[in-house]
Structure 1
Amino acid sequence: MVKYHAPKRGSLAFRRKRAKRIYPHVSTWPDVDQVRLLGYPAYKVGMISVYEKNVLVSERAMWYGLERVVAATVLEAPPIRIIGMRFYGVDGYGLKTIDEIWCPHFGKFERKYLQRKFPLPKKSVEEAKKILEEKAAKIRELIDNDEIREIRAIVRTCPELTTIGKKKPEVLEIKVSGEIKEAYEWCNEHLGKFIRVRDVFEPGMFIDVIGVTKGKGFQGVVKRFGVKLLPPKSKKGYRRLGSLGPWTPGRIMWTVPRPGQLGYFRRTEYNKQILTL
């Protein structure tokens, strides 16, 4: 009799559904005392092989002190512009938005792609600056009363400076670390200015990377779950399941591999070291 072999396929921890958008929403940020941005968006260019020695390993590793070839990912990280700030408080359900401040000046290029989706100031620069000063006084009062618990910078990417052939920027929130007063002063000082990747990360740092995998579309069970092929003389095809399950229960169980979406999944990888900038 043939030995029964049916390893568990898939995981409930990683849903096989399309990501809502190409850039992620980060729900948990690290605790850092230094005042700076805690993240930075970048575009993947490709992968290369690099020679390294004592970069990615500890002294206990068997190849410590030896040169070896490792795979590395190349990212294109153009400057980002801080176009606003968003302030969060805490209620019985968690974080809630208290108020937000937008940069008083936007160019034609930014308004072309952003004004339909975001509440950009429509008045003149002078009037927008007056509104900004009034909101700043209100925000300082809330900070003194300890009502603001988190500050995030609203940034926009600059894909027009890359080689990917894209113009429409992404707009996302990045938390600013440090004390609330210091974080607010830092955001207020850099509002409307450009931030470079060297202002956020340094070579040798270990970071977590969030991205979206390459989309494969609607695929079958062999490519999606690695199911073994049926014998060549099987009826109705051999790149399929031999059985969908028992007679009872009268339904297909969730553990049975099924065809569906493959790729374009949001995934997080931990402890990636920055080799160079």
Structure 2
Amino acid sequence: MSKKNRPRSGSLGYKPKVRAERMYPEIDNYEDTDEQKPLGYAGYKVGMSRVMMVDDTEGATQGQEVAEAVTILEAPPLRVYGARFYVEDPNSGKQVFTEAWTESPAKELQRATDIPKDGNMENLEKAKEHSDRIVDVRLLVHTQPSRAGISKKKPENFELGIGGDVESQLEYAEEMIGKEIEFSDVFEEGDFSDAIAVTKGKGVEGPVQRYGIKKLGHKTQKKRRKAGNVGPWHPDTLSWKIPLPGQQGFNNRTEYNKRILQHGDDPEEVQREGGFKNYGEVKSNYIIVKGSVPGPSKRLVRLRTAMRKDGKPGNPEVTYVEK
């Protein structure tokens, strides 16, 4: 009989397993592109569904109608309330140089951050004067949950990367401050995106559940759901590779190349009778993503333009959305 082989349980690529700092993630890296546009978007996870679509990938079912599991996101437009400018420090790396804020911030934004009601647009001119030192420009945006189907008032605010060189980034930031970003400004149907979110939290778990180690025999020591040997007496130090109890879930995770199948502004196209479980009814723009994305219902999922994309497969043809 052949020996069974499987990868090690509990990938070391996710060490250390720690709780995320907040309910929605920060993104440090963006695609290196010359296209002048925002490099990400965000939406609230509604739930999963199923669609019928024409298979446009190479394989036995190419050209045939197939069923695919999908995730539905509700994504009202993002509102730009400012811009952040970075300079390069030779000792400590990229550092914030200054920020510029809109002169007319949304009232709901005050629930999430404290910025002057009359803005600070003079800092934009300061950034232009020192454009030779600026190495990166990021938009400051916030969500608009009051326009979505969730009972939430406090918006999420975060940075959003911009494509192009510094001069075009400054120009685009000045143009967009105080305006809204639509989904079509970033993605098209058929594009690949990276889904980044905080996974479902499961609290403290033991090593059997957390890493998938085998339970000890019934005659072994006093406990069965523990690591059999965690290390020598001398030196009495535990290796970081030892499977130990600890936090399970509520981690920042990225899933690459999630294909966007459809988006629209008519919620009735995806609406389920009685609403979606643990979410409710969709009331604004929606996005249909092929497969699953991290996180439970109502959690914010950030979509970034794909970092590892290999061309665009084409426009998908969705024929039916299950309701």
TM-score bracket relative to the smaller structure: 0.7 to 0.9
Higher relative CO (Cα under 8 Å, sequence separation at least 6) belongs to 2
- Aligned residue in 2 for 1:205: 191
Cα distance, 1:49–1:142 mapped onto 2, change above 3 Å = same
Shift of 1:157: 0.8
241-250 or 258-267: which moved more?
Answer: 241-250
Query: In structure 1, what residue type is equivalent to 2:71?
Result: T
Looking at structure 1, the residues matched to 4 and 194 of structure 2 have their Cα atoms a distance apart, in angstroms, of 40
The answer for unaligned runs of 5 or more in structure 1 is none
Question: Which of 263, 268, 274 is equivalent to 2:249?
Answer: 263
- Quick one: which of 147, 151, 157 aligns to 2:133? 147
Instruction: Select the residue among 127, 139, 162 that pairs with 2:148.
Output: 162
Q: Which one of the candidate residues 75, 78, 81 is aligned to 2:79?
A: 81
**Closer, same or farther in 2 for the Cα pair 1:175/1:5, shift >3 Å?**
closer
Pair 1:8 & 2:8 matched = yes
* Contact 1:9 1:257 (8 Å CA) reproduced: no
Query: What is the match of residue 135 of structure 1?
Result: 123
Residue of structure 2 in register with 1:50 after alignment:
51
**AA of the residue aligned to 2:79:** R
- Of 3-12 and 204-213, deviating more is 3-12
**TM-score after normalising by structure 1:** 0.83
From 55, 63, 66, give the equivalent of 2:64.
66
Residues 199/220 of structure 1: CA separation in 2 closer, same or farther (3 Å cut): same
Residue 103 of structure 1, CA deviation: 0.5
Structure 2 residue aligned with 1:273, among 259, 279, 282?
A: 259
SS in 2 for 1:178: coil
Query: Which structure has the greater CA radius of gyration?
Result: 1
Structure 1 residues 207 and 6, CA gap change in structure 2 (3 angstroms): closer
Q: Secondary structure at the match of 2:134?
A: coil
- Pick which of 236-245 and 208-217 moved more: 236-245
Equivalenced residue count is 259
Unmatched tracts of structure 2, length 5 or more? 264-323
Contact 2:207 2:226 in 1 (8 A): yes
How far apart are 1:235 and its partner, in Å?
5.8
- Structure (1 or 2) with the greater strand fraction: 2
> Distance between the aligned counterparts of 2:163 and 2:246, measured in 1?
41
Residues 252/155 of structure 1: CA separation in 2 closer, same or farther (3 Å cut): same
Shift of 1:65: 3.0
Partner of 1:17: 18
Contact 1:19–1:264 (CA under 8 A) maintained in structure 2: yes
The root-mean-square deviation of aligned C-alpha atoms, in Å, is: 2.6
Aligned-pair distance for 1:175?
A: 1.2
List aligned pairs for 1:228-267, cutoff 5 A.
228-231=214-217, 236-245=222-231, 250-267=236-253
1:165 counterpart letter in structure 2: S
Q: Please, what TM-score do these two structures have when normalized by structure 2? A: 0.72
**Pick aligned residue for 1:219 from 198, 205, 221:** 205
- CA distance 1:179–1:6, shift in 2 (3 Å): closer
Specify whether residues 160 and 233 from structure 1 end up closer, same or farther in structure 2 by C-alpha distance, changes over 3 A only. farther
Measure, in 2, the Cα distance between the counterparts of 1:229 and 1:154. Answer: 49
Letter in 1 for 2:80: I
Other structure's SS at 1:173 match: strand
